[in-house]
Amino acid sequence: MNNIDKPGENCAVFGIYGHKEASKLTYLGLYSLQHRGQEGCGIVSSDGSEVFVHKGRGLVSDVFSSPGIFRHLKGYIAIGHNRYSTTGSNLPSNVQPFVVECRDGPLAISHNGNFVNTNFLRKLLVKEGSIFQTSTDSELLVHIIARSKEENLVLKLKECLAKIKGAYSIVMLVKDKLIAVRDPNGFRPLCIGKKRNCYIITSESCALDLLGAEYQRDVKPGELIVIDKNGLSSHQIFQPEKLTFCIFEFIYFSRPDSKIFGEYVDKTRRKLGKNLALEKPANADIVISVPDSSNTAALGYSHKSGIKFELGLIRNHYIGRTFIQPSQPLRDFNVKVKFNAVGGVIKNRRIVVVEDSIVRGTTLKMLARLIKNAGAKEIHIRVSSPPIRYPCYYGMDFPTEEELIASSLSVEEIRKFLNVDSLGYLSIQGLLDSVPKNDAGFCNACFSGDYPVPIEERLLKNQYEIFNHIHLSDKVR
Amino acid sequence: MNNIDKPGENCAVFGIYGHKEASKLTYLGLYSLQHRGQEGCGIVSSDGSEVFVHKGRGLVSDVFSSPGIFRHLKGYIAIGHNRYSTTGSNLPSNVQPFVVECRDGPLAISHNGNFVNTNFLRKLLVKEGSIFQTSTDSELLVHIIARSKEENLVLKLKECLAKIKGAYSIVMLVKDKLIAVRDPNGFRPLCIGKKRNCYIITSESCALDLLGAEYQRDVKPGELIVIDKNGLSSHQIFQPEKLTFCIFEFIYFSRPDSKIFGEYVDKTRRKLGKNLALEKPANADIVISVPDSSNTAALGYSHKSGIKFELGLIRNHYIGRTFIQPSQPLRDFNVKVKFNAVGGVIKNRRIVVVEDSIVRGTTLKMLARLIKNAGAKEIHIRVSSPPIRYPCYYGMDFPTEEELIASSLSVEEIRKFLNVDSLGYLSIQGLLDSVPKNDAGFCNACFSGDYPVPIEERLLKNQYEIFNHIHLSDKVR
Amino acid sequence: MNNIDKPGENCAVFGIYGHKEASKLTYLGLYSLQHRGQEGCGIVSSDGSEVFVHKGRGLVSDVFSSPGIFRHLKGYIAIGHNRYSTTGSNLPSNVQPFVVECRDGPLAISHNGNFVNTNFLRKLLVKEGSIFQTSTDSELLVHIIARSKEENLVLKLKECLAKIKGAYSIVMLVKDKLIAVRDPNGFRPLCIGKKRNCYIITSESCALDLLGAEYQRDVKPGELIVIDKNGLSSHQIFQPEKLTFCIFEFIYFSRPDSKIFGEYVDKTRRKLGKNLALEKPANADIVISVPDSSNTAALGYSHKSGIKFELGLIRNHYIGRTFIQPSQPLRDFNVKVKFNAVGGVIKNRRIVVVEDSIVRGTTLKMLARLIKNAGAKEIHIRVSSPPIRYPCYYGMDFPTEEELIASSLSVEEIRKFLNVDSLGYLSIQGLLDSVPKNDAGFCNACFSGDYPVPIEERLLKNQYEIFNHIHLSDKVR
Amino acid sequence: MNNIDKPGENCAVFGIYGHKEASKLTYLGLYSLQHRGQEGCGIVSSDGSEVFVHKGRGLVSDVFSSPGIFRHLKGYIAIGHNRYSTTGSNLPSNVQPFVVECRDGPLAISHNGNFVNTNFLRKLLVKEGSIFQTSTDSELLVHIIARSKEENLVLKLKECLAKIKGAYSIVMLVKDKLIAVRDPNGFRPLCIGKKRNCYIITSESCALDLLGAEYQRDVKPGELIVIDKNGLSSHQIFQPEKLTFCIFEFIYFSRPDSKIFGEYVDKTRRKLGKNLALEKPANADIVISVPDSSNTAALGYSHKSGIKFELGLIRNHYIGRTFIQPSQPLRDFNVKVKFNAVGGVIKNRRIVVVEDSIVRGTTLKMLARLIKNAGAKEIHIRVSSPPIRYPCYYGMDFPTEEELIASSLSVEEIRKFLNVDSLGYLSIQGLLDSVPKNDAGFCNACFSGDYPVPIEERLLKNQYEIFNHIHLSDKVR
């Protein structure tokens, strides 16, 4: 119920080394990264010899609800994870960090991203006698690490990750080390912060702000970072390939106050709005946003177009897990329960509605009707990203291709479906013009179908062979 | 943890007559009124002869979490309540609606407001042999009703309410009737809506929008409404006195999409911002809001002043009930856990921060520091209401007078305390110019100390004699 | 699920004065009295000026599950209650102790028993302007106390209790006193213990054993005890009428290790078995008991008859609140889930099965079949009480008269229904010969229909007028 | 809190093939086997192609508390497990059945017993690249199975189990088969039942009685059973070695109504009492039992000695998970909270107290004092098993050798410690004379130190290397 018709978020990872309250700071870091995943979370800490684990399903503030948990999570190193299920369904055992004991001792891993050759690898491993207790990429990775004959963890990780294709921003903990690694394409963000002598690794920089830590730099694509008693050491285990940062992080996922891929999200998102105003102007009285994710783009649209920005939709933030409907459902209930139109703003106005993206379009259709019924004279939808036509295999949770409205309908057909006066999407070029140039490249496969890393066939067909026939109850006490 | 340094909200009431899913619609109504109280909620329904009750502590979506509850809440009449504790602490037994059996049979009551002569009345009743099981105004009221010798409920209510001083917007249910009544001053909002043959009474009109019902009119001050099989009948039981609507409903409490006291909240709130811009201009680059409650006023300030509106603060909506701090607390933790500054927006800018009200000032001081640390060149606080100098006895939950920063410090002293470059409050006149004129009057006692209804002495001294020495555990299963 | 086809138990009361951990000792007392009621429990304590409350539904060990609760329950006086619903259904608000504020300040009450003229009294009170929030006898009593014009609590209680007919063993707490009172018939047990300077009042003496306290004496029928800083004072407020102790306390309710009505339960229960053996001998190989309540009587039967005592039935003590059945229910599931026959004991034997009482007979029929199927050659049921033909209005929870098997069937017809080889009940005379003689009398209304205190008509017809139409949800958070 | 000073119980396994409500019958089976483990339980079912899992911590009736769970647990095959932690601490991930996906597809396993060469095997596997997510024997076993190159499951299991030393009664589920296997020594019981066309495997036969199934025979030591669409096939994968059934199953673990190792427990337990009476007579007035586990032996002692059997101790069955003590603990609280002496029985009597075993002796010391204080003239402890001097490595949870009172004290010293008039243990010979002769042998290592299967050194030193440094929180949501 939390997000209506948006791509599923894609997990957060966090790690800290060198703080006597490492687990509490990890908890705060996870809390500030909650927008990236709300299904489950966990923290693993180490005091240099013993490893401590607590994880569960639900929000950070629910899973870590008592001070006693932090007395258990001893030590000066910790990693954490917020989960949004991408592969592997909503199972308790899939909540990360994933913890095992292997040749190198205890090992915990937090992963953001998605591997794209998992079935091939899983089948290979199973054939060689591995057993799988979950359907997560993390378990797969650990199996490969555990089998490596290389002499140290850096070499092992290099050997293993060479076998893996796809997107990953990973944070790992062994007894006395914090390790971070990012795939050579750099799909998912990952950055390094510092607070006095203490190192922090985080998906987004907003976690650093909460902790009063300084942003240092991004973990580089293909780079492996080891932090231990000797400080931070960097290993460029892969030469960065053609960089393909996930452009959707700028469009929707990341918090506007975060700096990712070297740039403030807020700044880029405002540019999306401005370029949208240039590309797809509208003859209207006011600009409104679909709160909260489209606020910044709407403001950019307003500033560039000169059309006044107004707060035309109120969002109810008290939504719970489930919601009980009347037997005779109220019209547009799913949208109304989340949004209401402000009559005094909307009435008799020609309105530009800025939305960051359209996935299925069903929610936006209801929202347009809500605005219409509040008295809008004209509705002009402006979308601060191009039409989404292709699924993502690198960590975003999209519906299947058939369900993506833009994969089968033209823009004009979508306009008719939404029943609005006009509809304009930002072009791919306009999108690319909005994001930072430096030497970064971006993945825009969901718009263009141009996948920078090839996907194994089974994944394309949405088939998982291993752990496909085991159905865990979701009511575990 | 939910609201930082704001007056406590003041409860919501809701009632519906003539719908076969009366309790489910009440649940939705309460959900849309959740902002008025988050401590507890309840619904009482009637099928004309039997009365059904469910209530509990927590949010609407938590207390009403299973469909089975609605199978219990049978009938075509229902009333509901969202509680924020004003008088009576956070006790399970204080959750409303309050239900009793008396001479007239089952009787349930939902109350928004605060009586100001309760101790006098309670002592009188106790002397006559009444027993009190809670510290709520509702129990007091029911005791008085039960003792009335008048022949029908309208006359009884008239007799009883004549004894009561203070603020009340009340919804009552007896077996076959829905009753609503508003005090002669009209302190708290209460309006009537209609959905086909079904009548709805609600604190704010936003509940009508969610239900697809039409706003009809406000319940008039001093008016008692009875809805039963003969339809709606109106009884002006008291001549409206000098009307003194709570002006804080416009400043902060009500949702911007609601219409109260005959006007859209959003429209008034924007005017507050405009008048603030006229009265207290600022030489600045951008206007930002303390989200979400000050958004509309900030927008008004921006439009009138011509200074660009920006989103400079991000608010985290995932806050839970409790929050565990590190032992060495992070500086400004309480604010940081809720807000973060957007670096790209704030940096090197002269900033107007619009806030709707200042109570203790401690949070705003931290927020100003947060903005400063994000690189702001200058900070100019503008408050869309006058300095709060006096407590409220009509249903708002303010700290004691000593804790109200403006009761002891001048504006310049507050500015120094906040450590900002300038501070400007809206004047009382500017406030009154912003609210609708018609023939309404407003209570501004919290700013002026001019209390329209006299307060009994014990209440002034914050003494409750009855039920003052009984301490219920808050961990009841 | 807890008790199969037995009369409902009838609540426990407990009070303590003069111990710095009064609430913890009350908790232990309630725990040892758990057999008298498992639906809910509560404790109210006082430190002499403030009163503290914690109560909830469930077992003592569940409701009082965290040490924090006892930090809340401060003070040197405390009372407690274990609830089994007699009148008033299973509602959270009916969990005792019942706490109110009235003219005399805070007042808490724990009640065991049942009033038999409640409707008359409730209607009278409601007519005079009282309101009822529960359907308990305790609320009724407090209303009457609160209205008394007498000058002190002893006189008030005397005045009030004079109006009340029925069974009551009551423990009350006011700020600085512990009060105990027992009806003039002495239906329910209540005794006084002492542990150094600390006084204890308890339904059964087994609580004293756990606490290491000394049994002093019973509270006398018609006696009111006040314990305060001046020690214990006794007030014989009513001349004891014809004493009618509940004989079922000896047959089934009380724990065998308790001393009630001046005699060990175990001793009386063994006599029941002996007299049963004399009255209803059997030609059999072994005697077995329906565990655990019939163990002692079975042993008595064995000793007197010379037939060997064996453990032929095993009882499973892990039964939870609910139990999920297969769709095609297993034959005799309800009994099998609780009992199993020991094949090696039963096989080819002629068996005397001693049971303490038969209510509906349905369970015993299944049990007999279970024993038969385990290979018993003959089954001879012997019941250590007479046929139950009449309902109890003094605090036992029996089914209605229609459901009592012995109210419509003869002993021979019951034998046929049970499908056993012989059936023998103890005679009323045999019963009376088994209980202590001293100067006590016993109520045997459930066997004889001879009610020592007349029952008001409405109660006979099972009609409750007040609070009969209000249905509280049982899922309160 | 559940068992005072007894060896920890040792898990129950259950499996069923060929019933359309397989999971519900498994639930009932586990319920009847609850006495063998109360920490956690689980069920895995299969419909022939899909596998369904539900498990959790707590009692069967708590973990399986809603009918929805059984709608999830589809299929006609199911296995279940009740856990008492032997190796591997009380972790949610250690709750069985253990489920993985491996080369053979989904595989679930329930295990009763203990392997004695696990560290050797775990280290070997880890060296070869295996990862461990738990500290259970089951995970170890599955790793070995997964690595086997044998062509079918029977051959694989034979190959794997050949590497394993120790005690095991295992039930396994693969998609279309139910498998059961018992170690060649036959340490733990395991039997086969039938209900029409449906096969059942269970630790004890009492589960068959509840389900209305017929006992067929025991699974033979060294036998592997496969049940699938072709019916039951038996594979004697190991020649039974010297049989060493766990004699403690007769003394204490199993339910008296169960048939294990070909004999009713009840019958053997009565013989223990009889032989004890012959070996260690006492000059006393009555025989009492420490309920409930010693009841049958006490009865045997009474019958053989001619001393009257009485119920001298009452056991409280309402004990919850935790129990809160007063700050100044009551003397002998731990025993009193569970037992009370029946004054009328004990007073002025010379008493034989029959107890099935003594581990640390601390509880029995308190119990003896309790009996003394109730007025016993003499106390004669008689123990229906020999002194326990050595730890068990085959699945019983004993304290370490140092804590076993009989490992360092002589019988006379123990008597002094207990402060009783006499103390008599059954001799090892008397024990062996009591158990069935057929061709069975029994393990009596805990009495004699004669371990039939050698224990690896690390285990003797109580060192676990793998998963020894990972500490999971026990508060997982």
* pLDDT tier for residue A257 given thresholds of 50, 70 and 90: very high
pLDDT of residue A86: 46
**B5, B335 in Cβ contact below 8 A?**
no
**A31, A12 in Cβ contact below 8 A?**
no
Please tell me which residue of chain B has the smallest CA distance to C147: B129
Instruction: State whether D473 and A51 contact (CB < 8 Å).
Output: no
- What average pLDDT score do residues D173-196 get? 96
pLDDT of residue C93: 66
Q: Are strands C263-264 and C259-260 parallel, antiparallel or unpaired?
A: antiparallel
Shortest CA gap C53–chain B (Å): 5
pLDDT of residue B329: 74
Shortest CA gap D216–chain C (Å): 15
pLDDT in tens, D400-446: 888 899 999 999 999 999 999 999 999 999 999 999 876 679 999 99
Chain D: touching chains (3 or more CB pairs < 8 Å): A, C
Token readout for C137 is 């006898």
The closest CB to that of D264, out of C59, C319, C344, belongs to C344
Number of alpha helices (DSSP H) and beta strands (DSSP E) in chain B: 18, 25
Q: Give catalytic residues of D, as residue numbers.
A: 11
Task: Write out chain C residues lying below 8 Å of B62, CB-based.
Answer: 477
Chain B: touching chains (3 or more CB pairs < 8 Å): A, C
Instruction: State whether A476 and D56 contact (CB < 8 Å).
Output: yes
Above 90 in pLDDT, residue A81? Answer: yes
pLDDT in tens, B366-388: 999 999 999 999 999 999 999 99
Interface test with D, best of A470, A472, A474 (most D CBs within 10 A): A470
Q: Give catalytic residues of C, as residue numbers.
A: 11
Half-sphere exposure of D455 (CA within 13 A, CB side): 18
Helices (H), B261-358: 265-279, 295-305, 333-336, 343-346
Helix (H, G, I), strand (E, B) or coil at D169: strand
**B268, B434 in Cβ contact below 8 A?**
yes
Instruction: State whether A146 and D133 contact (CB < 8 Å).
Output: no
- Which segment, A471-475, B460-464, C265-269, is predicted with the most confidence on average? C265-269
* pLDDT tier for residue D372 given thresholds of 50, 70 and 90: very high
Chain D, residues 313-372, CB within 8 A of chain C, namely 314, 316-328, 330-331, 336-337, 340-345
* pLDDT tier for residue D189 given thresholds of 50, 70 and 90: very high
Tell whether A289 and A422 lie within a shared domain: yes
pLDDT of residue B85: 59
The closest CB to that of B57, out of C62, C475, C477, belongs to C477
The closest CB to that of D53, out of A69, A147, A470, belongs to A470
pLDDT in tens, C6-25: 776 579 999 999 999 999 99
Task: Write out chain D residues lying below 8 Å of C320, CB-based.
Answer: 59-62, 65
Among residues C227, C236, C233, C171, the alpha carbon closest in space to that of C199 is found at C227
Tell whether C97 and C179 lie within a shared domain: yes
- Which segment, A100-109, B196-205, D456-465, is predicted with the most confidence on average? B196-205
- What average pLDDT score do residues A411-415 get? 98
pLDDT of residue C321: 62
Tell whether B390 and B279 lie within a shared domain: yes
Tell whether D231 and D302 lie within a shared domain: no
Instruction: State whether B336 and A209 contact (CB < 8 Å).
Output: yes
Which residue did the predictor score with more confidence, A25 or B93? A25
Interface test with A, best of B54, B61, B76, B264 (most A CBs within 10 A): B61
Helix (H, G, I), strand (E, B) or coil at D113: strand
- pTM for the whole thing? 0.90
Burial class (CB in 10 A: 0-12, 13-18, 19+), B239: exposed
* Number of separate domains in chain B: 2
Tell whether D169 and D240 lie within a shared domain: yes
**D271, C349 in Cβ contact below 8 A?**
no
DSSP code, position D222: T
Token readout for A156 is 């092992």
Please tell me which residue of chain B has the smallest CA distance to A62: B320
Above 50 in pLDDT, residue C3? Answer: no
Above 60 in pLDDT, residue A1? Answer: no
Which residue did the predictor score with more confidence, C469 or C317? C317
Half-sphere exposure of A370 (CA within 13 A, CB side): 29
* B254 belongs to a structural domain: no
- Rounded (10°) angle between helices B295-305 and B265-279: 50
Chain C, residues 231-270, CB within 8 A of chain D, namely 255-257, 259, 264, 266-267
Beta bridge partners of A263: A260
Q: Sign of the CA dihedral C317, C321, C325, C330?
A: positive
* B20 belongs to a structural domain: yes
Q: Give catalytic residues of B, as residue numbers.
A: 11
Please tell me which residue of chain A has the smallest CA distance to B210: A336
pLDDT of residue C1: 35
Among residues D201, D194, D238, D45, the alpha carbon closest in space to that of D111 is found at D201
pLDDT of residue B460: 62
Instruction: State whether C470 and B133 contact (CB < 8 Å).
Output: no
Task: Write out chain D residues lying below 8 Å of C32, CB-based.
Answer: 316, 340
Tell whether C337 and C208 lie within a shared domain: no
* C78 belongs to a structural domain: yes
Rounded CA-CA distance C211/C200 in Å is 10
Over the range A25-34, which residues count as b (16 or more CB within 10 Å of their CB) and which as e? bbbbbbbbbb
Chain C: touching chains (3 or more CB pairs < 8 Å): B, D
pLDDT of residue C458: 63
Token readout for C257 is 């290790």
Is the ipTM value over 0.85, yes or no? yes
* C455 belongs to a structural domain: no
Q: What is the CATH number of the domain that holds B23?
A: 3.60.20.10
Chain A, residues 145-204, CB within 8 A of chain D, namely 146-148, 175
pLDDT of residue C2: 41
Tell whether B46 and B148 lie within a shared domain: yes
Tell whether B228 and B103 lie within a shared domain: yes
pLDDT of residue B318: 83
Q: Give catalytic residues of A, as residue numbers.
A: 11
* B226 belongs to a structural domain: yes
* B448 belongs to a structural domain: no
pLDDT of residue D90: 44
Token readout for A116 is 């794209």
Tell whether A386 and A423 lie within a shared domain: yes
pLDDT of residue D197: 93
pLDDT in tens, A280-310: 999 999 999 999 999 999 999 999 999 999 9
- What average pLDDT score do residues D82-90 get? 60
Rounded CA-CA distance B251/B431 in Å is 9
- DSSP labels, D328-371: SPPTTHHHHTTEEE-HHHHTT-EEEEEES--SSSHHHHHHHHHH
Shortest CA gap A465–chain D (Å): 10
**A11, A112 in Cβ contact below 8 A?**
yes
When mean pLDDT is compared across A111-115, A397-401, C223-227, D423-427, the lowest value belongs to A397-401
* pLDDT tier for residue D477 given thresholds of 50, 70 and 90: very low
pLDDT of residue B320: 67
Among residues A116, A224, A135, the alpha carbon closest in space to that of A472 is found at A135
Above 50 in pLDDT, residue D230? Answer: yes
Which structural domain, as residue segments, surrounds residue D31? 12-244
Chain B, residues 44-73, CB within 8 A of chain C, namely 49-58, 62-63, 66, 68-69, 72-73
Please tell me which residue of chain D has the smallest CA distance to C297: D311
Rounded CA-CA distance D106/A116 in Å is 23
Instruction: State whether B299 and A316 contact (CB < 8 Å).
Output: no
Provide long-range contacts, Cβ within 8 A and 24+ apart, for B87-91: B87/B114, B87/B118, B87/B135, B87/B136, B87/B137, B87/B464, B88/B134, B88/B135, B88/B136, B88/B137, B88/B467, B89/B135, B90/B39, B90/B40, B90/B57, B90/B474, B91/B134, B91/B135, B91/B472, B91/B474
Shortest CA gap B330–chain A (Å): 7
Above 70 in pLDDT, residue A465? Answer: no
The closest CB to that of D132, out of A52, A100, A477, belongs to A100
With vertex at residue A196, the alpha carbon angle to CA A193 and CA A199, rounded to the nearest 5 degrees, is: 35
Task: Write out chain B residues lying below 8 Å of A273, CB-based.
Answer: none
Instruction: State whether D130 and A133 contact (CB < 8 Å).
Output: no
The closest CB to that of A133, out of D49, D50, D133, belongs to D133
pLDDT in tens, B271-328: 999 999 999 999 999 999 999 999 999 999 999 999 999 999 999 988 766 678 888 7
Say if A230 is an interface residue toward chain D (CB within 8 Å).
no
Chain A, residues 89-148, CB within 8 A of chain D, namely 92-93, 99-103, 105-106, 126-127, 129-133, 142-143, 146-148
pLDDT of residue A320: 67
Task: Write out chain A residues lying below 8 Å of D175, CB-based.
Answer: 469
pLDDT of residue D104: 84
- DSSP labels, C419-451: T-SEEEEPPHHHHHHHS--TT--EE-HHHH---
The dihedral over CA atoms of C399, C402, C408, C412, expressed in degrees to the nearest 10, equals: -40
Half-sphere exposure of C33 (CA within 13 A, CB side): 33
* pLDDT tier for residue A462 given thresholds of 50, 70 and 90: low
* pLDDT tier for residue A58 given thresholds of 50, 70 and 90: confident
- What average pLDDT score do residues C347-357 get? 97
pLDDT of residue B2: 41
Instruction: State whether B131 and C105 contact (CB < 8 Å).
Output: no
**A204, A258 in Cβ contact below 8 A?**
yes
Instruction: State whether A126 and D103 contact (CB < 8 Å).
Output: yes
- What average pLDDT score do residues C214-241 get? 95
* pLDDT tier for residue A315 given thresholds of 50, 70 and 90: very high
When mean pLDDT is compared across A393-402, B341-350, C133-142, the lowest value belongs to A393-402
With vertex at residue B316, the alpha carbon angle to CA B313 and CA B320, rounded to the nearest 5 degrees, is: 150
- What average pLDDT score do residues B382-397 get? 93
Q: What is the CATH number of the domain that holds B413?
A: 3.40.50.2020
pLDDT of residue D9: 59
pLDDT of residue B472: 75
Instruction: State whether D326 and C28 contact (CB < 8 Å).
Output: yes
Tell whether B23 and B160 lie within a shared domain: yes
The count of other CB atoms within 10 Å of the CB of residue C87 is 17
Please tell me which residue of chain D has the smallest CA distance to C336: D210
* C471 belongs to a structural domain: no
Task: Write out chain A residues lying below 8 Å of B211, CB-based.
Answer: 330
The count of other CB atoms within 10 Å of the CB of residue D252 is 21
pLDDT of residue D459: 64
Rounded CA-CA distance C298/C294 in Å is 6
pLDDT in tens, D338-364: 999 998 899 999 999 999 999 999 999
Among residues C265, C267, C271, C272, the alpha carbon closest in space to that of C250 is found at C265
Q: Do chains A and D touch (3 or more CB pairs under 8 A)?
A: yes
Above 90 in pLDDT, residue D379? Answer: yes
Tell whether B240 and B273 lie within a shared domain: no
Place of tokens 């290491």: C212
* pLDDT tier for residue C39 given thresholds of 50, 70 and 90: confident
* pLDDT tier for residue A460 given thresholds of 50, 70 and 90: low
Rounded CA-CA distance C9/C204 in Å is 13
Beta bridge partners of B264: B259
Q: Sign of the CA dihedral A24, A27, A31, A36?
A: positive
Above 80 in pLDDT, residue C76? Answer: yes
Q: Which residues are CB-neighbours of C111 under 8 A, at least 6 positions away?
A: C11, C13, C81, C96, C98, C136, C137, C138, C141, C168, C169, C170
* Percent of chain C scoring above 90 in pLDDT: 72
Shortest CA gap C13–chain B (Å): 20
Task: Write out chain A residues lying below 8 Å of D72, CB-based.
Answer: 471, 473
DSSP code, position D385: S
pLDDT of residue C395: 86
Token readout for B37 is 């109280």
Helix (H, G, I), strand (E, B) or coil at B93: helix
Give 3-state DSSP helix, strand, coil % of chain C, rounded to 5: 30, 25, 45
- What average pLDDT score do residues A372-392 get? 96
Token readout for A339 is 């949004």
* pLDDT tier for residue A334 given thresholds of 50, 70 and 90: confident
The closest CB to that of B59, out of A60, A309, A320, belongs to A320
Chain A: touching chains (3 or more CB pairs < 8 Å): B, D
Tell whether B239 and B279 lie within a shared domain: no
* D94 belongs to a structural domain: yes
Instruction: State whether D129 and A106 contact (CB < 8 Å).
Output: no
